[in-house]
Amino acid sequence: MKRLSALLLSVVWVFSGCVSDEENAQILLEKDIQKIETYVTQNPIASVKDVIDGGTGIRMYWTQLSGSGHKVALGDTVFVNYTGKLLNNIVFDTSIEATAKANNLFNANRDYEPLEFIVGRGMVIPGFEFAVFNMEKGDKATVIMPSLYAYGSQGNGGIPPNSPLLFELELVNIKDNPLADD
């Protein structure tokens, strides 16, 4: 019996090496999309506009459209209030002090203010940047992203590896790229 188990483990190990990283990523993406579909079915998100990006599986639900017309462009500096959650609705991070306190995440040594980053520089996870790039100043949206566009197989702090994530976002301000052609 031990020999059979060892043989079986060897065969599984050999064949697992035959699956490419690309195939593994596709399998993981499909699993994440199913988890996201289950989440959305069980936790409907009221929205005034929604989009599902077929290529990435990222879903966006606008809870408020500002109508400002001030769109994000590459190189712009954006200021975003956010709350990040796992798909079990556990908050893992936020830029909002009241939300941090309500979820026992408050850190007196942290400044609770909108996250500032330059769009297109890879300063945040891809799914977060994708969502902000599709918003206008003043919009509020919920974005749900597969793990491939979050922290992937590495995870991050309290975020387990291969975790699809949900972010509630408010695009507070956009500082236009001073080098952009008008």
Confidence category of residue 25, pLDDT binned at 50, 70, 90:
confident
Phi-psi map region of 69: left, alpha, beta (phi>0 left; psi -120 to 50 alpha): left
Confidence category of residue 21, pLDDT binned at 50, 70, 90:
low
Measured between alpha carbons, how far is residue 22 from residues 26, 28, 29, 103, 148 in Å? Answer: 6, 10, 10, 37, 12
In the chain, % of residues over pLDDT 90: 81
Q: Enumerate residues 6+ apart whose C-beta is below 8 A from 35.
A: 87, 164
Contact call for residues 78 and 119 (beta carbons, < 8 A): yes
Contact call for residues 94 and 113 (beta carbons, < 8 A): no
Q: Please give the backbone phi and psi of residue 64, each rounded to the nearest 5 degrees, phi first.
A: -155, 125
Q: Work out the average pLDDT over 164-168.
A: 98
Contact call for residues 91 and 104 (beta carbons, < 8 A): no
pLDDT, tens digit (0-9, with 9 covering 90-100), for 87-110: 999 999 999 999 999 999 999 999
* pLDDT beyond 70 at 163: yes
Residue 57: count other Cβ atoms within 10 Å of its Cβ: 21
Contact call for residues 33 and 57 (beta carbons, < 8 A): yes
Give 168's strand partners.
Answer: 83, 142
1-5, 20-24, 31-35, 46-50: segment of lowest average pLDDT = 1-5
* pLDDT beyond 80 at 181: no
Using the Cα atoms of residue 138, residue 123, residue 148 and residue 9 in order, give the sign of their dihedral: negative
Residues in the chain: 182
What are the structure tokens assigned to 167, written together?
Answer: 């972010």
Residue 44: count other Cβ atoms within 10 Å of its Cβ: 8
The label of the residue with tokens 């409907």 reads 44
Give the pLDDT confidence score for residue 182 in this predicted structure.
56
Q: Which amino acid is at 170?
A: E
Chain mean pLDDT for the chain: 89
* pLDDT beyond 70 at 172: yes
* pLDDT beyond 70 at 66: yes
Confidence category of residue 20, pLDDT binned at 50, 70, 90:
low
